[in-house]
Each structure stands twice: as structure tokens, then as C-alpha cells.
């Protein structure tokens, strides 16, 4: 488990106050907040790039942190050399590094690009390489800071699919984002505002609170807005339906009931 207890951090006038958060293996947690809410600082603290001023972070396995701009994360020119950077630093044997690199490239679907120069890849593929770099170290907790912010919708969907795959394989993923459309797929959602966690719970419970979302300068996901509009028009859409698939099923159920 990745456990943050009473975490505090301060730089300049910004302060992150009393953050308490538990992340279990095999879960997908989404941290949402507007610009300046402290979500990236929290991501760096959880990822181990920053030391908290007070409080503690306990973790029972290796963590990996991926930042928004993949170009700022690469140390080596080719895909496999860069993915190998973490295991090399851990002093693993070259045979073990080869196994780790192959496994990470397989998990991220980047095996065909192993020998390619990173600078020739698209941003979406670069993000996959950055995630592979964390996976090669055998990180069980992945902290992804705004990894979809520089991607087009297709690239963004590719990364989301990858995240859901990794969660199925037992990794814990913490995605920091201001795009609430991704949060509907999470197991739990954390809303941050002014350096504090203002809400934490199941996405159905958090994302349906329009007032909370407005107060934190966040937009409700499209699926929830569509469901709200349909409810206003008298369709009995369940508030539990928040993903596109769930909403589609609800709309089919309502239209079948209407036809009958």
C-alpha cells in the first residue's frame, strides 16, 4: 500500500496541507484539481521526487513517476537504452536488465520501437516510453502527472487504455489530471483545491456533485452532463452510470422501457 499521512509541503506562498491518502495495489486513483491546486506537487511527493516538510509516505514496493512533458524525462537517445536507465541504476545484471526492458516494452506495446530514436516518436509514444521506464524498474505504484495534457484525443485514449490494462495486471495507478473525463474510469477520485483534499471517494459520489466541481473550477465529465440533461427531460437515468458504456446501457434500458 502507498500511504501518505499528514503530508505537508511548502514552497513560496503555496502550501500543501495535511494530505492523507491510501492507494491500494490494483486500483486506479484519479487526482483532479484546477491549476495551482497542488496536484502536481502531491504527485512529486508521492513519486518520491520531493521530500515532505512533515508527515510521512509509506510504500511497500517501488514507485514510478511520469511527468507531463516526456521530452524532459529522457536520458538516453534510444527507446531501449532509456527504458534500461532505471534498472541500470539499481545495479541489476545485464541479463536481468534485458528481461526487465523486454517486459516493460511488452506491457506498454512498444516492443517494435525498441531500437528507435526517441526524438522521432510522437508524444503519445514518448509517454509510453516514459511509463515503460518506470515499469522496467518493477514499479508497482505509478504516479502519472498530467501525462495526457500534451496529447491529442487519440493519444490520450491510448494512454488511458494502457492505464486500465496496467491496473488489470495488478499495478496501482495514480493519475493526476484536470480532465475529469478520465476520472469516470477510476476506482476512486480525489479532488484538490488550494493545497487541500476537499473530496475523496467513489467517482459516482464525487463527480455527480456539480456544486463541488464548480467550486473547484472543474468541469463535470461529458457523460454525467448528458445523463443530467436526460434526467431533466424525464428519463430515469441512474446516477451510477458515469462511463460511456454504462451510460449507453442506461439509455438502452430507458428506451426499451419507453417502447414497451
Q: Which residues bind another protein (CB under 8 A)?
A: 44, 47-50, 63-65, 67, 69, 71-78, 80-81, 84-94, 97-98, 101, 119, 133-134, 137
- Looking at residue 53, the DSSP 8-state letter turns out to be S
Residue 171 or 189: the one with the smaller Cβ distance to another protein is 171
Residue 6 or 71: the one with the smaller Cβ distance to another protein is 71
Residue 76 or 238: the one with the smaller Cβ distance to another protein is 76
- Rounded least distance, CB 24 to another protein, Å: 21
- Is residue 203 within 8 A of residue 221, CB to CB? The reply is no
Instruction: Cell numbers for 19, please give them.
Output: 494530505
What per-residue string of b and e applies to 54-64 under the rule 16 or more CB within 10 Å gives b? ebebebeeebb
11 CB-contact burial (10 Å; exposed 0-12 / middle 13-18 / buried 19+): exposed
How many of the other CB atoms lie within 10 Å of CB of 93?
9
- Rounded least distance, CB 213 to another protein, Å: 29
- Rounded least distance, CB 106 to another protein, Å: 16
- Rounded least distance, CB 102 to another protein, Å: 11
Residue 126 or 242: the one with the smaller Cβ distance to another protein is 126
- Rounded least distance, CB 107 to another protein, Å: 17
- Is residue 224 within 8 A of residue 208, CB to CB? The reply is yes
Quote the CA–CA distance of 42 and 99 in Å, as a whole number. 32
Residue 76 or 246: the one with the smaller Cβ distance to another protein is 76
Amino acid at each position: 500500500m502507498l500511504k501518505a499521512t499528514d503530508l505537508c509541503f511548502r514552497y513560496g506562498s503555496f502550501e500543501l496541507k495535511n494530505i492523507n491518502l491510501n492507494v491500494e495495489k490494483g486500483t486506479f486513483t484519479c487526482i483532479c484539481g484546477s491549476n495551482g491546486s497542488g496536484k502536481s506537487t502531491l504527485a512529486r511527493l508521492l513519486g518520491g521526487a520531493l521530500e515532505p516538510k512533515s508527515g510521512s509516505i509509506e510504500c511497500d514496493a517501488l514507485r514510478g513517476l511520469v511527468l507531463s512533458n516526456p521530452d524532459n524525462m529522457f536520458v538516453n537517445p534510444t527507446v531501449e537504452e532509456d527504458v534500461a536507465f532505471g534498472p541500470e541504476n539499481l545495479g541489476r545484471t545485464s541479463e536481468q536488465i534485458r528481461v526487465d526492458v523486454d517486459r516493460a516494452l511488452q506491457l506498454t506495446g512498444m516492443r517494435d520501437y525498441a531500437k528507435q530514436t526517441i526524438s522521432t516518436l510522437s508524444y503519445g509514444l514518448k509517454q509510453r516510453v516514459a511509463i515503460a521506464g518506470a515499469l522496467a524498474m518493477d514499479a508497482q505504484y505509478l504516479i502519472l502527472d498530467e501525462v495526457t495534457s500534451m496529447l491529442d484525443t487519440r493519444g490520450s485514449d491510448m494512454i488511458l487504455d494502457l492505464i486500465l490494462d496496467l491496473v488489470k495486471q495488478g499495478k496501482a495507478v495514480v493519475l493526476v489530471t484536470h480532465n475529469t473525463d478520465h476520472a469516470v474510469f477510476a476506482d476512486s477520485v480525489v479532488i484538490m483545491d488550494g493545497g487541500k483534499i476537499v473530496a475523496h471517494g467513489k467517482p459516482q459520489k464525487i463527480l455527480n456533485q456539480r456544486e463541488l466541481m464548480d467550486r473547484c473550477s472543474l468541469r463535470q465529465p461529458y457523460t454525467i452532463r448528458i445523463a443530467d440533461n436526460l434526467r431533466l427531460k424525464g428519463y430515469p437515468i441512474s446516477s451510477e452510470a458515469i462511463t460511456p458504456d454504462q451510460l449507453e446501457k442506461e439509455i438502452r434500458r430507458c428506451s426499451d422501457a419507453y417502447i414497451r
